[in-house]
Structure 1
Amino acid sequence: MFKLSRYLSPTLVYLCFITVVNASETMPIEDYESNVLIRIHGSNTVGARLVPSWAKDYLAALGMDNIQQRELDTKNEYAVEGNFKGQNYAIHIAAHGSSTGFKSLMSQQADIAMSSRQIKDKEVKALENVGDMRSFSSENVVAIDGLAVIIHPSNNVNTLSIKQIAELFSGNITNWAQLGGPNQEVSLYARDKNSGTWDTFKSLVLKKTGLKLSSEARRFESNDELSDLVAMDTGGIGFVGLASVRNAKALAVSDSGSAALTPAHLQVATEDYPLSRRLYLYFPEKPLNPRARDFIEFTQQQNSQLRVDDIGFVSLNPLISMDKEQQGPQVYRDLAELGDRLSINFRFDSGSAKLDNRAKRDIQRLVEFIQKPENKDKSIQLVGFGDMKQTQERAVLLSKLRANTIKSALHKKGVSSLAVAGFGAVKPVASQEAQGRTKNQRVEVWLLDKSNLEAAAELKKNTNHIELSDSRIAYF
């Protein structure tokens, strides 16, 4: 009866069966002919296409038919509906911005909050009556997005630094000729104040430079609408989620001391791209609607993550990159020649050696990936990086300790890995301010074929110490 095996574990299949059968007994009925299974409010980035697509898949997994999405009376609000045994059921989605999702959780008008930024301290405090909203249970990274800075396709500017982007959006740079572009007045397009996209842009760009958004900027609730207008304006510049670049041109972006990167798949997946960000679903530790937990777990499944790529974001499914062009010290580039990089970067809670919530799930994803039959001849090489400390030697030591944290977590899952490598503060992906230091404190994952293990061992043997910046640094 239920076609759930493709998506869910046997336990969750049973839970879904029970929740749907009992839906009419436990869920409120809105003022139209559907029993509302889940109410999801918040980010327009997450809610415009991704969550509605998941909602359709979820209802299909529950055995429903006649599944459709219809707009409600308010703009950016939808009902995804399906029919089971003659009864209509729906998932309600209101995509008005990240902050509205948390407000709806506070007022118990939503079961799940969509967010394109991490929950704020004041929101955590306001919701403390339903548990710790930063816990592993409550905070769920469901996709990765690159905040794309977009311009008109005819504009010959290809790369901007974060400082230059801030100067543009603050109104300090008013003509593209000041940046080597056409003699064209700059026109600004920005998301509205409720948007998590706006919060992310403000945090990663404007606050970092101490500047404020120009009052001349036009503000939009919708990513897609903003992007389409920039694509028609030869002087236009805006910022949108990766899935909304559409017909505009996305720029390469650099941060202090880091190379300029485009919002390409690998750079976004590993969160090395300076304006990469996580997309979240938040769920109270003390839920009023436990069915919402089923939905969130559904979004984490491998098949559900394929939908993320379909929409235009970057999924959490591990992917092998064949790109051998790597920056960094020669020994790192030599190691890269022997292996393939995986699209997972492990990161840690700010100021802590503890894995963050994404990393905790990525451990299991890596375990499942390496245990696939096609990967039986591959070995895991963990490579640590960090931020600048008092000395490069200390930075290298701490980067190796982080890599060993991942090695230990994998070992507990029955997966072995090669001796770790640590490269300290070389190859930064962000500036050295607080938020940037957290991004720089990371562990890369490389896969080495068995045929290359002997060469890798010889490389490590010959690289007990290497001279860098007038210091003798141990990497392996």
Structure 2
Amino acid sequence: MFPPVFRLLLSLLAALPVAAHAEQTVLRLQGSNTIGSVLAPALVRGMLQAQAVQDIQTLPGAVANEVQVKGRTAQGQLIQVSIAAHGSSTGFTALKTGDADLAAASRPIKDSELVDLEALGDLKSAEAEQVIALDGVAVIVHPDNPLPQLTTEQLANIFAGRITTWEALGLGSGPIRLYARDDRSGTFETFKSLVLDTHDLTLATSTTRFESSEQLAAEVRRDRQAIGFSSLSSVHGAKVLAIADGAASAMLPTPGLIASEDYPLARRLYFYLPPGQHNPWAQALIRFAQSESGQSIVTASGFIAQTIQAMPVRANAEMPAAYRGLLEQAQRLSVNFRFAEGSATLDNKAQADLQRVVAYLKRTGKLDQKISLVGFGDAKSDPARATLLSKLRAMAVRRELARQGVTAREILGLGAELPVAANDQDESRLRNRRVEVWVY
């Protein structure tokens, strides 16, 4: 029989290896279901692999829409990253309560949330607000539905319960059944902002609501009377409708039209990292998400990467002669430069895109006189003023590119030509104020 003191020593020694390798939660991510269901776990796995973590596995949590990504560091430490995907608003709430290190959002932070979280620093700064991917809110119906397209006005009236039957749209028969994400969802916030709010309408109380895009799309595929909306990555066999806003042509959520943010329901997907947050794993995830490897995972997860590419543009009769001339000589890049609201300053995404464009031009040997910049704007009472402002925007981009060693061949200002959105709301006007890049 060992003496009591010796037995105590043995028990302490036996416990040491367990304590040294106890599992540690190194990063807590909360927020958007759109991001958290597939993309965030994939990015976390990629980041952990880049950090030489081994034995990586993704396990479901105790609650639906929660997972843990686990692994072992080179030093043998067991670590995990927890991901809770209950809607964009829950991410900002978790930042405030200290229950998350990083928030995922499928819509920009609201002014009220900025005020509520001001103790954490400026969450609209370029350091804090990180666009990690692009997505399109897809309007979906049953695969057998013959409807090809809708306007945003028709869409608003349908989801507000003003258009209630398929006969009212000139096809089919029977009632329209509505499916939408819940109020905590960034997908719903985006739809509400871009469709319902712009027509001063609210969602019909008869709408069936879902926390998960996957569940919503599955119900739409089963219901011939259904119409819903989800992330483009969650369509899974439902029919996607083309959408027109104002005088703009109807557009499907194709990769090119989402990358340029021309599609009416295009949106940005975000990580928000408080400026004072020094968690090295959170910072590593941000860096990885913006890297080429991270953007490859964005594509593989069904979203649209921010990688710069040349893309084809089809000519049409509405194009001004100067624009058609570009089509004959050059290709458009898959990015539009947009500006912060009420400012001539490039917004956070545009500042990051500037570096991506420069890297693309360096890689392809097109730094000198190989690009044209085309500015557009919203309609003004004075068309000459609209043209001038659109050219000034293009000149602002030229100035920023020149600082990086890029010289442009030509600057065009096309005013309110070729709108991608209606001009009756601030959000739409901001989308029309853009600068395209064309390469020779």
TM-score range, shorter chain: over 0.9
In the TM superposition, what is the alpha-carbon distance from 1:375 to its structure 2 partner? 5.3
Match for residue 384 of structure 1 among 375, 382, 385: 375
Report if aligned partners of 2:377, 2:390 keep a CA contact under 8 Å in 1: yes
Task: Choose 353-362 or 209-218, whichever is displaced more.
Answer: 209-218
Match for residue 138 of structure 2 among 141, 144, 148: 148
Matched, 1:344 2:335: yes
Matched, 1:172 2:152: no
In the TM superposition, what is the alpha-carbon distance from 1:290 to its structure 2 partner? 4.0
Report if aligned partners of 2:135, 2:269 keep a CA contact under 8 Å in 1: yes
Instruction: Tell me how far apart the structure 2 counterparts of residues 109 and 91 of structure 1 sit (CA, whole Å).
Output: 13
**2:5 aligned partner:** none
Instruction: Tell me how far apart the structure 1 counterparts of residues 226 and 52 of structure 2 sit (CA, whole Å).
Output: 46
The amino acid of 1:430's aligned partner reads A
Match for residue 357 of structure 1 among 340, 348, 351: 348
In the TM superposition, what is the alpha-carbon distance from 1:210 to its structure 2 partner? 1.3
Matched, 1:64 2:56: no
Instruction: Tell me how far apart the structure 2 counterparts of residues 319 and 229 of structure 1 sit (CA, whole Å).
Output: 36
TM score, norm. by length of structure 1: 0.86
In the TM superposition, what is the alpha-carbon distance from 1:46 to its structure 2 partner? 0.9
Report if aligned partners of 1:378, 1:447 keep a CA contact under 8 Å in 2: no
**1:427 aligned partner:** 418
SS in structure 1 of the partner of residue 29 of structure 2:
strand
Report if aligned partners of 1:157, 1:180 keep a CA contact under 8 Å in 2: no
The alpha-carbon distance between structure 1 residues 418 and 222, as it changes in their structure 2 partners (threshold 3 A), is same
Match for residue 308 of structure 1 among 292, 298, 306: 298
The alpha-carbon distance between structure 1 residues 334 and 184, as it changes in their structure 2 partners (threshold 3 A), is farther
Matched, 1:36 2:28: no
Q: Identity rate of aligned residues, in percent?
A: 43
**1:84 aligned partner:** 73
Instruction: Tell me how far apart the structure 2 counterparts of residues 249 and 375 of structure 1 sit (CA, whole Å).
Output: 40
Match for residue 129 of structure 2 among 113, 122, 139: 139
Report if aligned partners of 1:150, 1:230 keep a CA contact under 8 Å in 2: yes
Report if aligned partners of 2:54, 2:72 keep a CA contact under 8 Å in 1: yes
Match for residue 211 of structure 2 among 211, 221, 224: 221
**2:433 aligned partner:** 441
Report if aligned partners of 1:155, 1:181 keep a CA contact under 8 Å in 2: no
SS in structure 2 of the partner of residue 371 of structure 1:
helix
- Equivalenced residue count is 419
Residue pairs, 1:99-118, within 5 angstroms:
99-118=89-108
Matched, 1:53 2:42: yes
Report if aligned partners of 1:151, 1:230 keep a CA contact under 8 Å in 2: yes
In the TM superposition, what is the alpha-carbon distance from 1:334 to its structure 2 partner? 2.1
The amino acid of 2:435's aligned partner reads V
SS in structure 2 of the partner of residue 406 of structure 1:
helix
The alpha-carbon distance between structure 1 residues 192 and 138, as it changes in their structure 2 partners (threshold 3 A), is same
Instruction: Tell me how far apart the structure 2 counterparts of residues 114 and 147 of structure 1 sit (CA, whole Å).
Output: 17
Report if aligned partners of 1:243, 1:312 keep a CA contact under 8 Å in 2: yes
Deviations 1:379-435 (A, max 9, x none): 111100001123111111111110111111111011111121110011111111111
**2:384 aligned partner:** 393
Instruction: Tell me how far apart the structure 2 counterparts of residues 257 and 156 of structure 1 sit (CA, whole Å).
Output: 23
Gaps of 5+ in 1: 1-28, 449-476
The amino acid of 1:119's aligned partner reads I
In the TM superposition, what is the alpha-carbon distance from 1:373 to its structure 2 partner? 4.2
Report if aligned partners of 2:368, 2:406 keep a CA contact under 8 Å in 1: no
Deviations 1:291-334 (A, max 9, x none): 31221121001121011111111110011112333542122122
Report if aligned partners of 2:368, 2:408 keep a CA contact under 8 Å in 1: no
Instruction: Tell me how far apart the structure 2 counterparts of residues 274 and 398 of structure 1 sit (CA, whole Å).
Output: 23
SS in structure 2 of the partner of residue 214 of structure 1:
coil
Task: Choose 367-376 or 87-96, whichever is displaced more.
Answer: 367-376
Instruction: Tell me how far apart the structure 2 counterparts of residues 378 and 45 of structure 1 sit (CA, whole Å).
Output: 41
Instruction: Tell me how far apart the structure 1 counterparts of residues 279 and 44 of structure 2 sit (CA, whole Å).
Output: 16
The amino acid of 1:129's aligned partner reads A
Instruction: Tell me how far apart the structure 2 counterparts of residues 122 and 82 of structure 1 sit (CA, whole Å).
Output: 37
Gaps of 5+ in 2: 1-17
The amino acid of 1:421's aligned partner reads L
SS in structure 2 of the partner of residue 239 of structure 1:
strand
Q: Which has the larger radius of gyration?
A: 2
The alpha-carbon distance between structure 1 residues 143 and 105, as it changes in their structure 2 partners (threshold 3 A), is same
